[in-house]
Each structure stands twice: as structure tokens, then as C-alpha cells.
Amino acid sequence: MIQFDAVHKRFPNGTTAVHDLSLEMPEGGVTVLVGSSGCGKTTTLRMINRMIEPTSGTIRVGGKDVTRQDAAELRRSIGYVIQQSGLFPHRTVLDNVATVPLLLGWNRKKARARAAELLETVGLAADAGKRYPHQLSGGQQQRVGVARALAADPPVLLMDEPFGAVDPVVRTQLQDELLRLQKELSKTIVFVTHDVDEAVRLGDQIAIFRTGGHLVQCATPAELLARPADDFVAGFLGAERGLKLLSLKTLADVPQGPAPEGGTWTLVLDERRRPRHWASKETELPVRPLRDTDSLLSALDESLASPTGLVARVDADGVLTGVSSRDDIHEHAGRAHTEARVAA
């Protein structure tokens, strides 16, 4: 667990970057710090591994005051991922990943073996290890950055807009990958971003900062979207707050029935009963089958795109299990909203 207790940061030029911050970042959870630029989110992150020293207040990692520890040793025990990866251009990918283990005094062979293992963990081919960073794509470099941060198996991971410089498709992949990794590793992650959607996707808890380093609200994504503390938070979350809330709920509870037959549109299946497309006498339209783990937002979207208003539901193998109607999805979406807003 990371605890901020009345932390204040004033820079020598007189600007207050962080104002009287008290915040807990729970063990094994992802805390996302969001806010527009200059709101103190990055300063907050960087005070955890003492890249910036607080002016007053205390920061504890695992119960220990960070300022009472040797800065270099503290940093080796905390993973750090930055934008555009910050990889060492003169070291191979493998040696980049092995950085912290080598600093900790592991022998080269053991450090490299560990590095190779991590490249696999973050989804990179083994031969990527022999390359130099500039030979990889932006997304691959970012994966190396994550592998490097994980190399010494630190309990805490600091991520400063790590996916800020990659295109939206790769960004989504990297987010998925991080969520998958986090399920296995349960690190205490502090993640800085200015992208609300990213915060909602990744955060177990979101802390919203306002210019001047004020923490405005810290809550779970669902609570934040359903009950923003003030107009600033509501404005920051954007007009489609309700839809974002639906991205957090799954389709699992929405009832499903058998696919209808004999209407204008028929759901065509392949030989293994996987949906292929919607077909009428004249034409066919694509279908996007959804699983139970997909969000209500995706379901709502698909129900609008589907010519029948029906959403095809499939199991993990893509085999049709049934269809859900637009009305059922709508009703569930509405109920999810009400529940989120009423819940204390």
C-alpha cells in the first residue's frame, strides 16, 4: 500500500504542484491519477520514487517512509514505466530489461534469463531480445518498457502516461495486456494519464486532480461516473458519462432467447454454429457476436447496428448461445444506471 499523508509540493519558482494531498493507493490495485496538464498528477507519481522530493508531508510505501530510505535502492524496488519507453538506445532489448536485476547484483546470466522470461510475459518474440530499441515499433518498445519495470519483480509499479505516444489500436492492445498481466501479478500500480477512457478501463480507483494540485475526488470508476463530486469532475468525465458507465457493466445478466426464424432477416451460421452475418432476400449485413464478458456499451452499440435490433450471443469458442433484444439490453442499461446512482 502507498500512503500520502498531507503531502505538499512547492517548486522553487513558487508554483504549488501538489496541495495537501492525503490519499491511499491500495495494495494490489490500480490507482489512476487523472487531470489536465499541470494538475500535479505526474509530480504526485514522481514523489513516490523520490524523483521529486515533497516539500512537506510523508509518503509511505509498504509502511516505510520513502525519504528515510536510500533513493537509489528505493527506486530499484519500484518499477517505473515512462512515455516513449525511455529505453537505453545503446543496449539490446534483453539488456534493457535486465537493467535493474544487474543493479541489484545478479550475475549476467541469471539477469538475462529473467529478462528473456519477461519478454515472453509481455508478449514479445524471443528474438526481439537481440535487437536494439530503435529496431522495434512504438508499441513493442512500450512492452519492453513494461518488461523492464517488472524485471526485479517489484511490488509497486509507477506508470507515467506509458501509452500516450502510441496509436489508438496499439493503445487498446497494451491496455488489454496490462489488465491481463495485472490479473496474474497483482501489483500495486499507480498510473498517470489524461485520458478519461483509459482511466475508466484500467483503474480500480481513480483520483481526479484539478489545476493547483488539488485532489477533487477519489473513487471507483463506477462511483465516479455515477456520482461525480462536483461540476469540475462531471465536466472532466465528459458528456457521455452514462455510456462510459455502461462500459464497466457486462452483458452476462441480460436474458437471451433462441434466434428467430422466418422474419425478413435471418442470422446465418457457419457449420460450427458460429454467426456469420444477417441475411435478407436482397442483401447481407455484418454481425458482431458478443460474449458474456463484453460490456453493456458494446451490446447497446451492436443492438443499434443490427438490422433486427437483436444481439447475437456466443460462448468462448464463438458458438451461438442465443440472442438478446434491444429492449432487454436497454432495460438492463437503465437499471445499471439507477443502481449506481442510488448505491451508497
Partner 1 sequence: MTIDWSWIGDHTDDLTSLTLSHLQAAMTAVFFGVLISLPLAVIAHRIRPLRGFLLGVSNVLFTIPSIAIFVLLLPVSGLTRTTTVIGLTVYTLVVLLRNTVEGLDSVPAKTKEAAKAMGTRPLRTLLTVEFPLALPVIMAGVRIATVMSISLVSVATYIGDGGLGQLFTDGFQRDFPTPVIVGVVLTILLAVVADALLVALQYVLTPWRRRRA
DSSP character at residue 7: E
Which alpha helices (H) appear in the chain, and where do they start and end?
41-48, 71-76, 93-97, 99-103, 108-121, 138-150, 168-185, 196-202, 221-226, 231-237, 241-246, 296-305, 326-342
Nearest to 299 by CA among 340, 335, 259, 250: 250
Of the candidate residues 57, 86, 307, 322, the single one contacting partner 1 (CB under 8 A): 86
Which residue, chain included where needed, has cell 528505493?
A: 74
CB of 156 to partner 1, least distance (A): 13
Measured in degrees and rounded to the nearest 5, phi and psi for residue 68 equal -90, 0
Q: Is 232 in the site for partner 1 (CB under 8 A)?
A: no
All cell numbers assigned to 206: 481513480
Q: Which residues contact 65 (CB under 8 A, 6 or more apart)?
A: 58, 59
Q: Is 90 in the site for partner 1 (CB under 8 A)?
A: yes
CB of 90 to partner 1, least distance (A): 5
Q: Is 69 in the site for partner 1 (CB under 8 A)?
A: no
Nearest to 236 by CA among 19, 33, 82: 33
Write out the binding residues for partner 1, residues 103-122 only, by CB under 8 A: 103
Nearer to partner 1, 72 or 169 (CB): 72
CB of 2 to partner 1, least distance (A): 16
Report the distance separating Cα 146 and Cα 144, nearest Å. Answer: 5
Q: Is 84 in the site for partner 1 (CB under 8 A)?
A: yes
Nearer to partner 1, 163 or 265 (CB): 163
Among the listed ranges 2-10, 91-99, 243-251, 297-305, the one in contact with partner 1 (CB under 8 A) is 91-99
Write out the binding residues for partner 1, residues 142-201 only, by CB under 8 A: 148
| Residue 198 Cα to chain centre, angstroms | 6
Nearer to partner 1, 130 or 341 (CB): 130
Write out the binding residues for partner 1, residues 18-57 only, by CB under 8 A: 49, 51
Q: Is 134 in the site for partner 1 (CB under 8 A)?
A: yes
CB of 5 to partner 1, least distance (A): 23
By CB under 8 A, name the binding residues for partner 1.
49, 51, 72-77, 80, 82, 84, 86-92, 99-100, 103, 131-132, 134-135, 148
